[in-house]
Structure 1
Amino acid sequence: MDYRSNLPERVEVLGAPIDPWTMEETVEATDRIVSGGLFAHLIGVNADKLLQMRDDPWMDACVRRCEVVNADGASMVMAAERLGVAVPERVAGVDLMRELCALAERKGRPVYLLGAKAEVVTKAAEALMRDFPALRIAGYRDGYFGEDEFDRVVEQVADAGPAIVFVGITSPKKERLIERFRELGAKGAFMGVGGTFDVVSGCIPRAPMWMQRANLEWLFRMAQEPRRLVKRYVVGNARFFRILREAERAQRR
Protein backbone atom coordinates (compact mmCIF):
# COMPACT_ATOMS: atom_id res chain seq x y z
CA MET A 1 0.00 0.00 0.00
CA ASP A 2 1.29 3.45 -0.96
CA TYR A 3 0.31 5.60 1.99
CA ARG A 4 1.68 8.67 0.17
CA SER A 5 -0.65 8.35 -2.80
CA ASN A 6 -2.10 11.72 -3.86
CA LEU A 7 -0.26 13.55 -1.05
CA PRO A 8 2.37 16.29 -1.63
CA GLU A 9 5.93 15.07 -2.06
CA ARG A 10 8.52 15.55 0.67
CA VAL A 11 10.53 18.79 0.64
CA GLU A 12 13.59 20.06 2.53
CA VAL A 13 13.77 23.06 4.85
CA LEU A 14 17.24 24.04 6.06
CA GLY A 15 18.40 20.54 5.24
CA ALA A 16 15.61 18.81 7.16
CA PRO A 17 13.07 16.63 5.34
CA ILE A 18 9.46 17.79 5.75
CA ASP A 19 6.23 16.25 4.51
CA PRO A 20 4.30 19.39 3.49
CA TRP A 21 0.99 18.06 4.70
CA THR A 22 -1.93 19.58 6.54
CA MET A 23 -3.21 18.04 9.74
CA GLU A 24 -5.96 16.34 7.74
CA GLU A 25 -3.47 14.87 5.26
CA THR A 26 -1.23 13.64 8.09
CA VAL A 27 -4.16 11.83 9.72
CA GLU A 28 -5.12 10.39 6.32
CA ALA A 29 -1.58 9.05 5.78
CA THR A 30 -1.53 7.52 9.29
CA ASP A 31 -4.89 5.88 8.67
CA ARG A 32 -3.52 4.29 5.49
CA ILE A 33 -0.42 3.08 7.33
CA VAL A 34 -2.42 1.39 10.09
CA SER A 35 -4.99 -0.03 7.65
CA GLY A 36 -2.22 -1.51 5.55
CA GLY A 37 -0.53 -3.25 8.48
CA LEU A 38 2.62 -1.18 8.02
CA PHE A 39 5.12 0.30 10.47
CA ALA A 40 5.60 4.05 10.68
CA HIS A 41 7.68 6.37 12.81
CA LEU A 42 5.94 9.75 12.99
CA ILE A 43 8.22 12.62 13.95
CA GLY A 44 7.87 16.37 14.21
CA VAL A 45 10.70 18.73 13.29
CA ASN A 46 11.07 22.05 15.10
CA ALA A 47 14.09 24.28 15.67
CA ASP A 48 15.43 22.02 18.42
CA LYS A 49 15.09 18.86 16.31
CA LEU A 50 16.83 20.57 13.40
CA LEU A 51 19.79 21.39 15.65
CA GLN A 52 19.85 17.82 16.96
CA MET A 53 20.06 16.61 13.36
CA ARG A 54 23.03 18.90 12.69
CA ASP A 55 24.85 17.77 15.83
CA ASP A 56 24.08 14.03 15.72
CA PRO A 57 24.49 11.98 12.52
CA TRP A 58 22.34 9.22 14.01
CA MET A 59 19.45 11.62 14.57
CA ASP A 60 19.83 13.03 11.07
CA ALA A 61 19.60 9.52 9.60
CA CYS A 62 16.69 8.66 11.89
CA VAL A 63 14.59 11.65 10.82
CA ARG A 64 15.25 10.90 7.14
CA ARG A 65 14.14 7.30 7.71
CA CYS A 66 10.84 8.29 9.34
CA GLU A 67 7.70 7.56 7.35
CA VAL A 68 6.00 10.82 8.37
CA VAL A 69 7.91 14.04 9.10
CA ASN A 70 5.80 17.06 10.09
CA ALA A 71 6.71 20.69 10.64
CA ASP A 72 5.98 20.65 14.36
CA GLY A 73 7.42 24.11 15.02
CA ALA A 74 6.20 27.49 13.83
CA SER A 75 9.89 28.24 13.22
CA MET A 76 10.02 25.61 10.49
CA VAL A 77 6.90 26.93 8.76
CA MET A 78 8.30 30.47 8.93
CA ALA A 79 11.68 29.32 7.59
CA ALA A 80 9.98 27.49 4.73
CA GLU A 81 8.04 30.60 3.80
CA ARG A 82 11.16 32.79 3.84
CA LEU A 83 13.01 30.29 1.65
CA GLY A 84 10.14 29.86 -0.79
CA VAL A 85 9.33 26.26 0.17
CA ALA A 86 5.64 25.34 0.30
CA VAL A 87 4.70 24.05 3.78
CA PRO A 88 0.96 24.61 4.37
CA GLU A 89 0.79 24.71 8.16
CA ARG A 90 2.27 23.72 11.46
CA VAL A 91 1.20 20.27 12.64
CA ALA A 92 1.71 20.54 16.40
CA GLY A 93 2.38 17.27 18.18
CA VAL A 94 -0.22 17.74 20.90
CA ASP A 95 -2.89 18.52 18.30
CA LEU A 96 -1.89 15.60 16.08
CA MET A 97 -2.06 13.24 19.06
CA ARG A 98 -5.65 14.31 19.73
CA GLU A 99 -6.59 13.96 16.07
CA LEU A 100 -5.12 10.46 15.98
CA CYS A 101 -7.05 9.56 19.13
CA ALA A 102 -10.22 10.78 17.40
CA LEU A 103 -9.31 8.60 14.40
CA ALA A 104 -8.67 5.60 16.64
CA GLU A 105 -12.00 6.14 18.40
CA ARG A 106 -13.91 6.27 15.09
CA LYS A 107 -12.19 3.16 13.71
CA GLY A 108 -12.13 1.16 16.93
CA ARG A 109 -8.35 0.98 17.00
CA PRO A 110 -6.51 0.61 20.32
CA VAL A 111 -3.81 3.05 21.40
CA TYR A 112 -0.97 2.76 23.91
CA LEU A 113 0.63 5.50 26.02
CA LEU A 114 4.31 4.97 26.78
CA GLY A 115 6.34 7.45 28.81
CA ALA A 116 6.44 10.14 31.52
CA LYS A 117 6.05 9.42 35.24
CA ALA A 118 3.57 6.74 36.25
CA GLU A 119 1.15 9.24 37.77
CA VAL A 120 1.34 11.51 34.72
CA VAL A 121 0.70 8.79 32.13
CA THR A 122 -2.16 7.44 34.26
CA LYS A 123 -3.78 10.89 34.37
CA ALA A 124 -3.19 11.30 30.63
CA ALA A 125 -4.98 8.00 29.94
CA GLU A 126 -7.88 9.05 32.18
CA ALA A 127 -8.14 12.43 30.44
CA LEU A 128 -8.21 10.83 26.99
CA MET A 129 -10.92 8.41 28.08
CA ARG A 130 -13.02 11.36 29.25
CA ASP A 131 -12.46 13.27 26.01
CA PHE A 132 -12.90 10.21 23.76
CA PRO A 133 -15.35 7.92 25.57
CA ALA A 134 -15.20 5.14 22.96
CA LEU A 135 -11.39 5.19 22.69
CA ARG A 136 -9.80 1.83 23.39
CA ILE A 137 -6.62 2.25 25.43
CA ALA A 138 -4.70 -0.99 25.13
CA GLY A 139 -2.37 -0.03 27.96
CA TYR A 140 0.03 2.52 29.36
CA ARG A 141 3.26 2.60 31.33
CA ASP A 142 5.91 5.03 32.50
CA GLY A 143 9.05 5.88 30.58
CA TYR A 144 11.55 5.20 33.35
CA PHE A 145 13.67 2.38 31.94
CA GLY A 146 17.09 2.11 30.36
CA GLU A 147 18.06 1.19 26.82
CA ASP A 148 19.03 -2.27 28.11
CA GLU A 149 15.30 -2.79 28.80
CA PHE A 150 14.08 -1.72 25.33
CA ASP A 151 13.39 -5.26 24.10
CA ARG A 152 11.33 -6.10 27.17
CA VAL A 153 9.28 -2.91 26.74
CA VAL A 154 8.78 -3.64 23.03
CA GLU A 155 7.46 -7.09 23.93
CA GLN A 156 5.17 -5.66 26.62
CA VAL A 157 3.66 -3.14 24.21
CA ALA A 158 3.33 -5.69 21.39
CA ASP A 159 1.42 -8.03 23.69
CA ALA A 160 -1.18 -5.28 24.21
CA GLY A 161 -1.81 -5.12 20.45
CA PRO A 162 -2.09 -1.36 19.86
CA ALA A 163 -2.50 0.21 16.42
CA ILE A 164 -1.05 3.58 17.52
CA VAL A 165 1.62 4.09 20.17
CA PHE A 166 2.37 7.52 21.66
CA VAL A 167 5.87 7.74 23.15
CA GLY A 168 6.24 10.53 25.69
CA ILE A 169 9.98 10.34 26.40
CA THR A 170 12.74 12.88 25.81
CA SER A 171 15.08 12.81 22.81
CA PRO A 172 17.03 10.93 21.68
CA LYS A 173 15.77 8.08 23.86
CA LYS A 174 12.29 8.10 22.33
CA GLU A 175 13.64 7.98 18.78
CA ARG A 176 16.00 5.14 19.66
CA LEU A 177 13.14 3.22 21.28
CA ILE A 178 10.80 3.68 18.32
CA GLU A 179 13.54 2.56 15.96
CA ARG A 180 13.96 -0.54 18.12
CA PHE A 181 10.26 -1.27 17.55
CA ARG A 182 11.04 -1.05 13.83
CA GLU A 183 14.02 -3.40 14.11
CA LEU A 184 11.97 -5.99 15.98
CA GLY A 185 9.25 -6.04 13.34
CA ALA A 186 6.49 -4.05 15.05
CA LYS A 187 3.46 -2.88 13.08
CA GLY A 188 1.44 0.29 13.57
CA ALA A 189 2.04 4.01 13.94
CA PHE A 190 4.57 5.12 16.55
CA MET A 191 4.60 8.82 17.37
CA GLY A 192 7.09 10.56 19.65
CA VAL A 193 5.18 13.14 21.68
CA GLY A 194 7.85 14.42 24.10
CA GLY A 195 6.21 16.17 27.06
CA THR A 196 2.68 16.04 25.63
CA PHE A 197 1.45 13.67 28.36
CA ASP A 198 2.11 16.46 30.88
CA VAL A 199 -0.24 18.73 28.91
CA VAL A 200 -2.90 16.10 28.18
CA SER A 201 -2.97 15.07 31.84
CA GLY A 202 -3.40 18.67 32.98
CA CYS A 203 -0.15 18.60 34.97
CA ILE A 204 1.23 21.43 32.80
CA PRO A 205 -1.16 23.91 31.13
CA ARG A 206 -0.99 24.63 27.43
CA ALA A 207 -0.44 28.15 26.16
CA PRO A 208 -3.63 30.19 25.64
CA MET A 209 -4.94 30.23 22.09
CA TRP A 210 -3.76 33.79 21.39
CA MET A 211 -0.17 32.74 22.15
CA GLN A 212 -0.51 29.67 19.93
CA ARG A 213 -1.79 31.82 17.08
CA ALA A 214 0.99 34.35 17.62
CA ASN A 215 3.62 31.55 17.47
CA LEU A 216 4.57 32.23 21.10
CA GLU A 217 3.80 28.82 22.54
CA TRP A 218 7.54 28.28 23.04
CA LEU A 219 7.64 31.32 25.33
CA PHE A 220 4.79 29.99 27.45
CA ARG A 221 6.47 26.60 27.73
CA MET A 222 9.76 28.20 28.74
CA ALA A 223 7.98 30.15 31.49
CA GLN A 224 6.51 26.88 32.80
CA GLU A 225 9.86 25.05 32.92
CA PRO A 226 12.61 27.70 32.81
CA ARG A 227 15.42 25.57 34.25
CA ARG A 228 14.91 22.88 31.61
CA LEU A 229 13.97 25.00 28.60
CA VAL A 230 15.83 28.35 28.76
CA LYS A 231 18.95 26.97 27.10
CA ARG A 232 16.91 25.09 24.50
CA TYR A 233 14.83 28.07 23.45
CA VAL A 234 17.12 31.07 24.00
CA VAL A 235 20.42 29.60 22.85
CA GLY A 236 18.81 27.16 20.40
CA ASN A 237 16.57 29.74 18.73
CA ALA A 238 19.48 32.14 18.31
CA ARG A 239 21.47 29.41 16.56
CA PHE A 240 18.45 28.46 14.43
CA PHE A 241 18.02 32.01 13.16
CA ARG A 242 21.74 32.24 12.33
CA ILE A 243 21.32 29.12 10.19
CA LEU A 244 18.25 30.61 8.54
CA ARG A 245 20.03 33.89 7.74
CA GLU A 246 22.95 31.98 6.22
CA ALA A 247 20.51 29.98 4.07
CA GLU A 248 18.81 33.19 2.90
CA ARG A 249 22.15 34.76 1.99
CA ALA A 250 23.19 31.61 0.10
CA GLN A 251 19.87 31.60 -1.76
CA ARG A 252 20.31 35.24 -2.82
CA ARG A 253 23.79 34.47 -4.13
Structure 2
Amino acid sequence: MNVIDNKNHTFVNPYSYSILRKQRPGYLTKNCFQLHYDGIALVCLSNALGLPSKRSSFDDTSLAPTVFSECQRHQLSVGLVGSAPGIAEEASQLLQQRYPSLIVQLVSDGFLSGQTEVDVKEKALECDVIVCSMGTPRQEDFLYELRLQNWEGTGFTCGGFLDQLVSAGGKDYYPTWVDRYNLRWLYRIAKEPRRLLFRYAVDYPVGMTLFIFDFFFTRERKHTDA
Protein backbone atom coordinates (compact mmCIF):
# COMPACT_ATOMS: atom_id res chain seq x y z
CA MET A 1 0.00 0.00 0.00
CA ASN A 2 1.35 3.41 -0.99
CA VAL A 3 0.47 5.45 2.08
CA ILE A 4 1.34 8.86 0.63
CA ASP A 5 -1.06 8.90 -2.30
CA ASN A 6 -2.59 12.41 -2.29
CA LYS A 7 -5.95 11.08 -1.11
CA ASN A 8 -7.98 11.29 2.08
CA HIS A 9 -8.14 8.20 4.27
CA THR A 10 -10.54 7.41 7.09
CA PHE A 11 -10.67 4.39 9.38
CA VAL A 12 -14.09 3.11 10.38
CA ASN A 13 -15.26 0.84 13.18
CA PRO A 14 -18.89 -0.17 13.81
CA TYR A 15 -19.51 2.98 15.88
CA SER A 16 -18.09 5.48 13.38
CA TYR A 17 -19.64 3.55 10.49
CA SER A 18 -23.12 4.09 11.93
CA ILE A 19 -22.41 7.80 12.45
CA LEU A 20 -21.17 8.32 8.90
CA ARG A 21 -24.02 6.24 7.52
CA LYS A 22 -26.54 8.54 9.20
CA GLN A 23 -24.84 11.94 8.99
CA ARG A 24 -22.42 11.74 6.02
CA PRO A 25 -23.46 8.79 3.82
CA GLY A 26 -21.62 10.27 0.86
CA TYR A 27 -18.32 9.67 2.61
CA LEU A 28 -19.06 5.92 2.53
CA THR A 29 -20.39 5.60 -0.99
CA LYS A 30 -18.52 8.15 -3.10
CA ASN A 31 -14.83 8.71 -3.74
CA CYS A 32 -14.38 11.27 -0.95
CA PHE A 33 -12.29 8.88 1.16
CA GLN A 34 -10.28 5.71 0.99
CA LEU A 35 -12.09 3.58 3.58
CA HIS A 36 -10.24 1.24 5.94
CA TYR A 37 -11.59 -1.09 8.61
CA ASP A 38 -10.23 0.00 11.99
CA GLY A 39 -10.38 -2.87 14.47
CA ILE A 40 -11.05 -6.55 14.23
CA ALA A 41 -14.87 -6.41 14.36
CA LEU A 42 -15.54 -5.12 10.84
CA VAL A 43 -12.65 -7.15 9.44
CA CYS A 44 -14.09 -10.42 10.76
CA LEU A 45 -17.59 -9.44 9.68
CA SER A 46 -16.45 -8.41 6.21
CA ASN A 47 -14.49 -11.63 5.73
CA ALA A 48 -17.49 -13.67 6.89
CA LEU A 49 -19.60 -11.93 4.25
CA GLY A 50 -17.12 -12.83 1.54
CA LEU A 51 -15.30 -9.49 1.30
CA PRO A 52 -11.60 -10.16 1.95
CA SER A 53 -10.35 -7.50 4.36
CA LYS A 54 -7.56 -6.76 6.77
CA ARG A 55 -7.29 -4.38 9.70
CA SER A 56 -5.81 -0.97 9.00
CA SER A 57 -5.67 1.70 11.70
CA PHE A 58 -3.86 4.96 12.20
CA ASP A 59 -1.91 3.97 15.28
CA ASP A 60 1.44 2.49 16.22
CA THR A 61 0.25 -1.07 15.58
CA SER A 62 -0.59 -0.31 11.96
CA LEU A 63 -0.07 2.64 9.59
CA ALA A 64 1.25 5.49 11.75
CA PRO A 65 4.94 4.43 11.79
CA THR A 66 4.91 3.90 8.02
CA VAL A 67 3.31 7.28 7.37
CA PHE A 68 5.70 9.25 9.58
CA SER A 69 8.73 7.33 8.31
CA GLU A 70 7.76 8.13 4.72
CA CYS A 71 7.21 11.78 5.60
CA GLN A 72 10.64 11.95 7.20
CA ARG A 73 12.32 10.12 4.32
CA HIS A 74 10.82 12.36 1.65
CA GLN A 75 10.90 15.60 3.68
CA LEU A 76 7.12 16.02 3.56
CA SER A 77 5.54 18.59 5.84
CA VAL A 78 3.02 17.30 8.38
CA GLY A 79 0.08 18.96 10.11
CA LEU A 80 -1.33 17.60 13.39
CA VAL A 81 -4.86 18.84 14.04
CA GLY A 82 -7.18 17.71 16.80
CA SER A 83 -7.72 16.60 20.39
CA ALA A 84 -7.86 18.87 23.43
CA PRO A 85 -5.60 21.92 23.80
CA GLY A 86 -2.01 20.90 24.41
CA ILE A 87 -2.32 17.33 23.17
CA ALA A 88 -1.24 17.96 19.58
CA GLU A 89 1.73 20.03 20.78
CA GLU A 90 2.93 17.26 23.09
CA ALA A 91 2.30 14.63 20.42
CA SER A 92 4.41 16.68 18.00
CA GLN A 93 7.33 16.72 20.43
CA LEU A 94 7.09 12.96 21.00
CA LEU A 95 6.94 12.26 17.27
CA GLN A 96 9.97 14.43 16.62
CA GLN A 97 11.88 12.47 19.25
CA ARG A 98 11.11 9.30 17.28
CA TYR A 99 11.59 10.89 13.86
CA PRO A 100 14.23 13.62 14.32
CA SER A 101 13.97 14.92 10.75
CA LEU A 102 10.16 14.99 10.69
CA ILE A 103 8.85 18.37 9.53
CA VAL A 104 5.83 19.27 11.65
CA GLN A 105 4.57 22.45 10.02
CA LEU A 106 1.18 22.81 11.71
CA VAL A 107 0.00 21.97 15.22
CA SER A 108 -3.51 22.80 16.40
CA ASP A 109 -6.10 21.48 18.81
CA GLY A 110 -9.46 20.38 17.46
CA PHE A 111 -11.60 23.10 19.00
CA LEU A 112 -11.86 25.34 15.96
CA SER A 113 -14.35 28.08 15.18
CA GLY A 114 -14.54 31.45 13.48
CA GLN A 115 -11.31 33.03 12.33
CA THR A 116 -9.21 30.44 14.14
CA GLU A 117 -10.70 27.71 11.98
CA VAL A 118 -10.07 29.76 8.83
CA ASP A 119 -6.45 30.33 9.83
CA VAL A 120 -5.82 26.66 10.63
CA LYS A 121 -7.30 25.54 7.32
CA GLU A 122 -5.16 28.03 5.42
CA LYS A 123 -2.05 26.63 7.11
CA ALA A 124 -3.25 23.07 6.50
CA LEU A 125 -3.45 23.76 2.77
CA GLU A 126 0.32 24.30 2.82
CA CYS A 127 1.04 20.88 4.37
CA ASP A 128 1.82 17.73 2.42
CA VAL A 129 0.18 15.45 5.00
CA ILE A 130 -2.55 16.15 7.55
CA VAL A 131 -3.30 13.87 10.51
CA CYS A 132 -6.65 14.82 12.02
CA SER A 133 -8.17 13.76 15.35
CA MET A 134 -11.55 15.41 15.91
CA GLY A 135 -13.95 12.50 16.18
CA THR A 136 -16.41 11.40 13.52
CA PRO A 137 -17.67 13.19 11.44
CA ARG A 138 -15.76 16.40 12.20
CA GLN A 139 -12.39 14.94 11.27
CA GLU A 140 -13.75 13.73 7.94
CA ASP A 141 -15.38 17.12 7.36
CA PHE A 142 -12.07 18.90 7.97
CA LEU A 143 -10.22 16.82 5.38
CA TYR A 144 -13.07 16.94 2.89
CA GLU A 145 -13.22 20.75 3.12
CA LEU A 146 -9.49 20.94 2.40
CA ARG A 147 -10.06 18.85 -0.71
CA LEU A 148 -12.81 21.23 -1.82
CA GLN A 149 -10.19 24.00 -1.69
CA ASN A 150 -8.04 22.01 -4.15
CA TRP A 151 -5.64 20.68 -1.55
CA GLU A 152 -3.48 17.98 -3.16
CA GLY A 153 -1.94 16.45 -0.04
CA THR A 154 -2.64 13.21 1.79
CA GLY A 155 -5.06 13.23 4.72
CA PHE A 156 -5.58 10.73 7.53
CA THR A 157 -8.19 10.66 10.26
CA CYS A 158 -6.58 9.20 13.36
CA GLY A 159 -9.26 8.77 16.03
CA GLY A 160 -7.60 8.73 19.45
CA PHE A 161 -4.02 8.30 18.21
CA LEU A 162 -2.72 11.66 19.45
CA ASP A 163 -4.23 11.11 22.91
CA GLN A 164 -2.87 7.55 23.05
CA LEU A 165 0.59 8.71 22.04
CA VAL A 166 0.66 11.33 24.79
CA SER A 167 -0.90 8.98 27.36
CA ALA A 168 1.86 6.43 26.71
CA GLY A 169 4.59 9.07 26.81
CA GLY A 170 5.64 8.24 23.28
CA LYS A 171 5.93 4.51 23.98
CA ASP A 172 3.65 1.76 22.67
CA TYR A 173 0.09 2.30 23.91
CA TYR A 174 -0.85 -1.37 23.57
CA PRO A 175 1.17 -4.17 25.20
CA THR A 176 2.56 -6.60 22.62
CA TRP A 177 0.30 -9.47 23.71
CA VAL A 178 -2.80 -7.26 23.45
CA ASP A 179 -2.00 -6.44 19.84
CA ARG A 180 -1.00 -10.01 18.99
CA TYR A 181 -4.34 -11.44 20.12
CA ASN A 182 -6.46 -8.57 18.78
CA LEU A 183 -7.58 -7.55 22.26
CA ARG A 184 -7.11 -3.83 21.71
CA TRP A 185 -10.87 -3.27 22.23
CA LEU A 186 -10.79 -5.00 25.63
CA TYR A 187 -7.68 -3.10 26.67
CA ARG A 188 -9.33 0.20 25.78
CA ILE A 189 -12.45 -0.68 27.77
CA ALA A 190 -10.26 -1.48 30.78
CA LYS A 191 -8.50 1.89 30.38
CA GLU A 192 -11.66 3.97 29.79
CA PRO A 193 -14.71 2.00 31.01
CA ARG A 194 -17.03 4.97 31.56
CA ARG A 195 -16.55 6.27 28.03
CA LEU A 196 -16.25 3.03 26.08
CA LEU A 197 -18.25 0.27 27.78
CA PHE A 198 -21.61 1.45 26.40
CA ARG A 199 -20.08 2.04 22.99
CA TYR A 200 -18.75 -1.49 22.70
CA ALA A 201 -21.75 -3.16 24.33
CA VAL A 202 -24.49 -1.25 22.48
CA ASP A 203 -23.21 0.98 19.67
CA TYR A 204 -20.95 -1.67 18.13
CA PRO A 205 -23.69 -4.30 17.72
CA VAL A 206 -25.93 -1.63 16.18
CA GLY A 207 -23.20 -0.60 13.74
CA MET A 208 -22.47 -4.20 12.79
CA THR A 209 -26.17 -4.83 12.15
CA LEU A 210 -26.29 -1.79 9.86
CA PHE A 211 -23.16 -2.99 8.08
CA ILE A 212 -24.79 -6.36 7.37
CA PHE A 213 -27.96 -4.64 6.15
CA ASP A 214 -25.95 -2.45 3.80
CA PHE A 215 -24.04 -5.45 2.49
CA PHE A 216 -27.23 -7.11 1.32
CA PHE A 217 -29.33 -4.09 0.34
CA THR A 218 -26.93 -1.20 -0.43
CA ARG A 219 -24.03 -2.55 -2.42
CA GLU A 220 -22.54 0.93 -2.89
CA ARG A 221 -20.67 0.64 0.42
CA LYS A 222 -17.00 0.18 -0.27
CA HIS A 223 -13.68 -0.37 1.42
CA THR A 224 -10.12 -0.15 0.15
CA ASP A 225 -8.29 -2.80 2.17
CA ALA A 226 -7.99 -6.30 0.78
Which interval holds the TM-score relative to the shorter structure?
0.7 to 0.9
Contact 1:125 1:201 in 2 (8 A): no
Q: Does 1:82 align with 2:51?
A: no
| Deviation (angstroms), 1:242 | 4.2
| Deviation (angstroms), 1:228 | 2.1
Q: Which residue of 1 aligns with 2:57?
A: 92
CA distance in structure 1 between the partners assigned to 2:44 and 2:67 by the alignment: 25
**TM-score (ref. length: structure 2):** 0.83
The one-letter code matched in structure 2 to 1:48 is Y
Contact 2:36 2:56 in 1 (8 A): yes
CA distance in structure 1 between the partners assigned to 2:68 and 2:141 by the alignment: 23
Where structure 2 has 5 or more consecutive residues not aligned to the other structure, the ranges are 218-226
CA distance in structure 2 between the partners assigned to 1:245 and 1:141 by the alignment: 37
Following superposition of structure 1 onto structure 2, how do residues 185-224 of structure 1 map, counting pairs within 5 Å? 185-202=150-167, 206-224=173-191
Where structure 1 has 5 or more consecutive residues not aligned to the other structure, the ranges are 1-24, 35-39
Q: Which residue of 1 aligns with 2:221?
A: none
Deviation string for 1:164-215 (max 9, x for gaps)?
0101111111111111111222220111112110112235872322222222
| Larger helix fraction of residues | 1
Secondary structure at 1:191 match in 2 = strand
Secondary structure at 1:166 match in 2 = strand
CA distance in structure 1 between the partners assigned to 2:213 and 2:145 by the alignment: 36
CA distance in structure 1 between the partners assigned to 2:137 and 2:213 by the alignment: 27
Contact 1:150 1:177 in 2 (8 A): no
**TM-score (ref. length: structure 1):** 0.75
The one-letter code matched in structure 2 to 1:175 is E
CA distance in structure 2 between the partners assigned to 1:163 and 1:141 by the alignment: 16
| Deviation (angstroms), 1:218 | 1.3
Q: Which residue of 2 aligns with 1:165?
A: 130
Q: Which residue of 1 aligns with 2:90?
A: 123
The one-letter code matched in structure 2 to 1:196 is F
Q: Which residue of 2 aligns with 1:138?
A: 105
Contact 1:43 1:66 in 2 (8 A): no
Q: Which residue of 2 aligns with 1:42?
A: 9
Secondary structure at 1:137 match in 2 = strand
Q: Which has the higher contact order (CA 8 A, sep 6+)?
A: 2
The one-letter code matched in structure 1 to 2:159 is G
Contact 1:165 1:189 in 2 (8 A): yes
Q: Does 1:68 align with 2:34?
A: yes
CA distance in structure 2 between the partners assigned to 1:172 and 1:246 by the alignment: 21
The one-letter code matched in structure 1 to 2:73 is R
The one-letter code matched in structure 2 to 1:61 is G
Secondary structure at 1:93 match in 2 = coil
Following superposition of structure 1 onto structure 2, how do residues 102-117 of structure 1 map, counting pairs within 5 Å? 102-117=69-84
Across the aligned residues of Structure 1 and Structure 2, the Cα RMSD in angstroms comes to 2.5
| Deviation (angstroms), 1:147 | 7.1
Aligned pair count? 212
Q: Which residue of 2 aligns with 1:178?
A: 143
Structure 1 residues 113 and 247: alpha-carbon distance in aligned structure 2, compared to 1, 3 A threshold: closer
